[in-house]
Amino acid sequence: MKHLKIVFAAALLSGCEAKVDDLQVFIAEVKQTTTVNIEPYPEFESKPTFIYSADTLRSPFQRPRNTGAGVEIKVAAQPNCAQPDFNRSKQPLEKFGIDALSITGVFQSNGKKWALIQSNTGSLYKATIGDYLGLFFGKIDSIQNGTVSFTEMLPDGAGCWQKKQATLTMISKAGENNV
């Protein structure tokens, strides 16, 4: 009986043979009738060589070096109105805007009051009454109780300059603008 089962299983399995003759004929027919159409590679035109010539210029990721030029204002001066003294030499604190300065201390030496002024670059300067600071010809008028009062000369656009009072205090930090 055991042999009979084996013969029966073999007969069943022989009937499971795949009939792919028609598929093989179809594949052979398609291969014979199909033409292979491969597009040629595109031809790339060569571009002219680029010569980089800005290697001697300042990198855009570096801060500009201080040229000492400051603010140049070119407006024709009007007669009979306030004008700053353009011929005097600039002082170190005149290369910073007021918002870039802060008072870090006040002291007195030989009867003269001094203010310690720190810029946003971290540099520390000392200034007294009569010194200049800021971009608009700010002249220090007084130093009292941690406050520096000064008068700026602002252009009015018509060739004249208007005086404006402003202060810096020890409470204010660089980046704050106090009026």
Domain residues for the domain of 99 are: 94-169
Rounded Cα distance, 137 and 98, in Å: 11
Q: How many beta carbons lie within 10 A of that of residue 8, not counting itself?
A: 10
Whether 51 is in a domain gets the answer no
Whether 137 is in a domain gets the answer yes
pTM for this entry: 0.53
Whether 110 is in a domain gets the answer yes
Whether 121 is in a domain gets the answer yes
Burial class (CB in 10 A: 0-12, 13-18, 19+), 10: exposed
Q: How far is CA 176 from CA 5, 103, 170, in A?
A: 100, 12, 12
Two structure tokens written together for 149 = 């009062």
* Nearest by Cα to 173 from 98, 84, 101: 101
Residue 136 belongs to a domain with what CATH number? Answer: 2.30.30.830
Higher-scoring residue by pLDDT: 62, 30 = 30
Res. 117: pLDDT tops 90: yes
pLDDT in tens, 91-103: 999 999 998 999 9
Whether 152 is in a domain gets the answer yes
Whether 158 is in a domain gets the answer yes
Number of domains present in the structure of the chain? 2
Whether 111 is in a domain gets the answer yes
Burial class (CB in 10 A: 0-12, 13-18, 19+), 15: exposed
* Residue 4 confidence (pLDDT): 76
Kindly state the greatest CA–CA separation across the chain: 134
Check: CB of residue 127 under 8 Å from CB of residue 145. no
Give the residue carrying structure tokens 């093989």. 24
Higher-scoring residue by pLDDT: 173, 69 = 173
Whether 7 is in a domain gets the answer yes
